[in-house]
Structure 1
Amino acid sequence: MNFLSYIYAFIIGVVVEVIGIILDIPSLIISILIYFIIAYFIGYPFLRMHLGKGNVKSTERFLLKSKKNPIYQLYYGLANGLEEEVDEAIQKINKRPYPSPVKKQHQLIHATFHGQIEDMEKLLKGMKRSTFTLYYQTIHSMLVNNLDEARQLIDRNPKLWMREALTAELLMKENRKEEAFNHGHVALLKTRGIQRYVLIRTWEREWGMLLNDK
């Protein structure tokens, strides 16, 4: 969280309170206004990164400022192919009191990043089925070169951005670069925030997929 957000919220809150007193506005209304001001300045940056489109540089700045949070550190490392960042982040996640499903999800992401097939299989077997596990089961099928199974799993995934991103990965594996780029662009149109950033940076780095989104 940007410290300036707290400063801005405090200053504007004080100004609103002073104006309210001068204009004799009921204290309840002043309190409600101050609450919404604080919620906006503190919550907006977080929501924008997760739900808003955001461009690459603004999302990257957010992740760099938030790297004390190991989950954000992990996503930054994933996007930029930084093994030390990813490994350090997963160690921190494992030590912190996150819920077990959250830890397993990020352990699966970590294992996938390193191409650790056996670890992926063990984790997937112990996780509740969801679009998330279906996504990584598809990646697992690609890693073991079971492309027919990967296609079947892609068709079963209800999320459009996941289908398009996985199709792009599959086509790239088959050396059909132009088609892969087309599906990749569709996936990016359907993603937001950090997920979009991770896809963009990964594809730029691995495929040379240059995008006008800086």
Structure 2
Amino acid sequence: MLKQHIIFYTVIFLGCFLLGFFEAPIYLIGLLLTLSMGWYMYVQISPVLFSKDIRKSESYILKHQSNPMYQFYYAIANNLDDEAEEAMGKFQSKYKNSERRALIQTTYALYKHEPSEAKKYVHLIKSHVYRTYYEGLIAAESRKFKEAKDHADRLPEGWMKNSILAEMAEKQGKNSEAKERAAMAFEQTRGLQRYILYKNFETHLAS
């Protein structure tokens, strides 16, 4: 990764130097810098934000395991309990933002199938949409299906609603509905979220 950065910035520097040497307009040099930086940033973050390729997303996550967030999500996606606990400790030490911590703590509690523990943190999530989503997952995990459905109904159409409905259907033994909802949620996501959903519903999506 460091080698890629060095090569990129070297090429940009040489390009700007040559444009300056040949007295190119300042706006042209600025345009080159803007377009180059934009393209490079897109290439760097697309696997976790925009990609539909699960393998590319996983490869990116594995290359960035020094980041506790990526370490955590890879661990829970692959049921690596020790690694998930280790990543949680690192995350707690690195990030002090209460909402970000609440998201991770709620996710971790749900991963361990501890809805009562998840309830301790979910109210700290400021985003109404994300809070409703996690409340729906907590209700589904608690097998309170009417409550889970109520939360899902308050969400706009999209992967969050379909994820809750897929979880509900799976726990109720409605495999065909779970598969359908999981597939819908999967198609509505990109990047890291798509990867996590795939791993969570792999038995439905891989069949």
Q: CA deviation at 1:141?
A: 1.1
Cα distance in 1 for partners of 2:3, 2:50 equals 20
Q: For residues 152-189 of structure 1, give each alpha carbon's deviation from its aligned partner in whole angstroms, at most 9, with x where no partner exists.
A: 11111125111112111111112121221111111111
Match of 1:6 in 2: 5
Among 195, 198, 205, the residue aligned to 2:196: 198
Q: CA deviation at 1:127?
A: 3.7
Specify every segment of 5 or more residues in structure 2 that has no aligned partner in the other structure, as ranges: none
Cα distance in 1 for partners of 2:186, 2:125 equals 27
Is 2:51–2:57's contact at 8 Å kept on the other side of the alignment?
no
Matched AA of 2:155: N
Q: For residues 14-70 of structure 1, give each alpha carbon's deviation from its aligned partner in whole angstroms, at most 9, with x where no partner exists.
A: 3312431453213453244234323432x2244313431331111011001111110
Q: CA deviation at 1:77?
A: 1.0
What percentage of residue pairs aligned between the two structures are identical?
Answer: 24
Cα distance in 2 for partners of 1:125, 1:143 equals 17
Is 1:154–1:167's contact at 8 Å kept on the other side of the alignment?
yes
Match of 1:116 in 2: 114
Match of 1:132 in 2: 130
Q: Which moved more, 1:170-179 or 1:47-56?
A: 47-56
Q: Secondary structure at the match of 1:98?
A: coil
Is 2:48–2:57's contact at 8 Å kept on the other side of the alignment?
no
Q: Which moved more, 1:185-194 or 1:8-17?
A: 8-17
Match of 1:16 in 2: 15
Is 2:183–2:205's contact at 8 Å kept on the other side of the alignment?
no
Is 2:165–2:178's contact at 8 Å kept on the other side of the alignment?
yes
Query: What does 1:16-165 correspond to in 2, within 5 Å?
Result: 16-41=15-40, 43-128=41-126, 130-165=128-163
Matched AA of 1:106: I
Among 207, 210, 214, the residue aligned to 2:206: 210
Change (3 A) 1:97 1:184: closer
Cα distance in 2 for partners of 1:20, 1:126 equals 52
The count of aligned residue pairs is 207
Cα distance in 1 for partners of 2:115, 2:174 equals 25
Normalised TM-score (structure 1) = 0.87
Matched AA of 1:144: S
Name which structure has the greater RCO, CA cutoff 8 Å, separation 6+: 1
Normalised TM-score (structure 2) = 0.89
